[in-house]
Amino acid sequence: MQCLFVQIKCELGRAYEVADEIANREIASEIYSTSGDFDLMVKFYLDDETDIGHFVNGQVHTVPGIRDTYTILTFKAFG
């Protein structure tokens, strides 16, 4: 299982709409609103066989209201 985080910058006033759409698609493990350069941080778990680039492009970037993303790959969970 692969774990990754995607930070999402939304169009102004659309963060809740974007978060709701991601939740409705049932593709995310956790969705957080954040402060700073990005509006949302979303945690995904993917099967080892799933191509991360195709997933982000096909499942995340297609959500209306997203302006920019930053994908963080993880290697090991501690604790």
For the record, the structure tokens of 12 come out as 């102004």
Task: Show me where the domains of the chain are located.
Answer: 2-73
The CATH architecture assigned to 2-73 reads 2-Layer Sandwich (3.30)
pLDDT, position 23: 98
For the record, the structure tokens of 55 come out as 């997933």
Cα gap 35→49, rounded to integer Å: 33
Q: Say if residues 65 and 8 touch (Cβ distance below 8 Å).
A: no
Q: Say if residues 62 and 4 touch (Cβ distance below 8 Å).
A: no
SS3 75: coil
Q: What is the pTM of this model?
A: 0.95
- Mean pLDDT, contiguous 10-residue spans, the chain (79 residues): 97 98 98 98 98 98 98 95
pLDDT, position 7: 98
pLDDT, position 43: 98
Q: What are phi and psi of 33, to 5 degrees?
A: -85, 145
